[in-house]
Structure 1
């Protein structure tokens, strides 16, 4: 069987979310475009381009389009953190997106609420094969790597017991959700939403329009309310960075063994 060459675009919103990946990349070439550094090279045998999108839907969409048009990526993976929108989720849990919606999109009465004008869609589905790989990678990380990857002090500090992995709906919007009232406005209408963040659905829309398979994984950093951890930067550095590194490594290893990114 013939397999198409893979060039994986890896996007994160913040520097801490890609800690370690660029440092071990081989044959590195850095290109600055649109105020972003696109770092090309090889990660565990795969051609990759790593980039920080910055925060928000416009930033994420611009970065995604550039990865596709200027750097010729064939698949896109987004890693980052999110707030929990479902009461079952705890800090340290992982959510792999099955589908994504822009919770602040409302072009009524011209189009139904949440529908992206001229697409006929409100929810964008991630690639099933990539998402299954990502789900397996996250589950294997929790089962095998979690206890050694995260220091005991940090487990206690952020009250991480035995994290769980979920798959489902993620909602994105240009608003940091930090209060119960904000969250209720979203979950009252989108009752199946698991997590809220600020980039994923924009990445999903661009990938849909360009026909690029994508997958998105989020580490739960807070409860999207007043009880959120105070030291967000420390969570990024001590927890989320280790999650992202290990999950990406296992995700790529699945390609190497199963040749599933085709």
Structure 2
């Protein structure tokens, strides 16, 4: 069973590349994929690039060309939900495209042809990611360049859209609009919902874990680069390795 580990940016999986055994690079769809072994599991590491279309292209290549039996997305996100702070980790329970609006033909956020707005992540994979994330957050306190002693793990809705949300007013409106429709959002990013949709189409299990790099507010453009460089890659490395080790022991 080949696991695909997907991230948007090189920094988000640089630590994983260093652990890869028997690496082999393959060019496909304008991207470089790296095959190898991690904790005895065959894996493919890939960078989606930024945005939903780029992520969908990469996910499709992972399934069609590399035969990925499951896809796990790891990276960063902006915290939107109450109590979701920088340094926290969010394991996605489901995804929604916050910029999808085909009204009045369909309800706002509903995916045409799917009769729903939210796409569920795989419960089995998500449970193992939650366990790995909890262990990572507990062991990481005091060990990273940026210390977050009160870091927590959350599980719930993550939303994606082709826009970097970086203003408090926009973040607040997004949260309020979604809440009014019964969607209690925790975090916002730019790729996961597209990958979730591709995985649903192909019947491939999908899970995602995101480290909160900023609060999707007016300071997001300042917080994001530093956090990705100094913290996000270490979180991803520890969480994914623990996740794969857990699966290899089952």
- Give the TM bin, normalised by the shorter chain: over 0.9
Task: After TM superposition, list the pairs within 5 Å mapping 1:22-41 onto structure 2.
Answer: 22-41=17-36
TM-score normalized with structure 2 length: 0.95
- SS at structure 1 position matched to 2:178: coil
- SS at structure 2 position matched to 1:221: strand
How far, CA to CA, are the matches of 2:174 and 2:120 in structure 1? Answer: 19
Shift of residue 78, structure 1, vs aligned partner: 0.1
- Partner residue, 2:141: 147
- SS at structure 1 position matched to 2:246: helix
Asked whether the equivalents of residues 124 and 205 of structure 1 are also in contact (C-alpha less than 8 Å), the reply is yes
- Partner residue, 1:48: 43
How far, CA to CA, are the matches of 2:222 and 2:98 in structure 1? Answer: 25
Shift of residue 149, structure 1, vs aligned partner: 3.9
CA-based RMSD: 1.2
Give the gaps of 5 or more residues in structure 1.
1-5
Give the gaps of 5 or more residues in structure 2.
none
Asked whether the equivalents of residues 101 and 114 of structure 1 are also in contact (C-alpha less than 8 Å), the reply is yes
Shift of residue 168, structure 1, vs aligned partner: 0.2
How far, CA to CA, are the matches of 1:115 and 1:229 in structure 2? Answer: 30
Shift of residue 147, structure 1, vs aligned partner: 2.7
Shift of residue 229, structure 1, vs aligned partner: 6.4
Shift of residue 231, structure 1, vs aligned partner: 4.7
Task: After TM superposition, list the pairs within 5 Å mapping 1:60-209 onto structure 2.
Answer: 60-143=55-138, 145-147=139-141, 149-151=143-145, 154-155=146-147, 160-191=148-179, 192-209=184-201
Post-superposition Cα deviations, 1:189-221, rounded to whole Å, max 9, x if no partner, equal: 212000000001011010011100010000000
How far, CA to CA, are the matches of 1:117 and 1:60 in structure 2? Answer: 19
Asked whether the equivalents of residues 213 and 223 of structure 2 are also in contact (C-alpha less than 8 Å), the reply is no
Specify which of 9, 15, 21 is matched with residue 10 of structure 2.
15
Post-superposition Cα deviations, 1:113-159, rounded to whole Å, max 9, x if no partner, equal: 1111111121000000000000000001112x2036413xx22xxxx
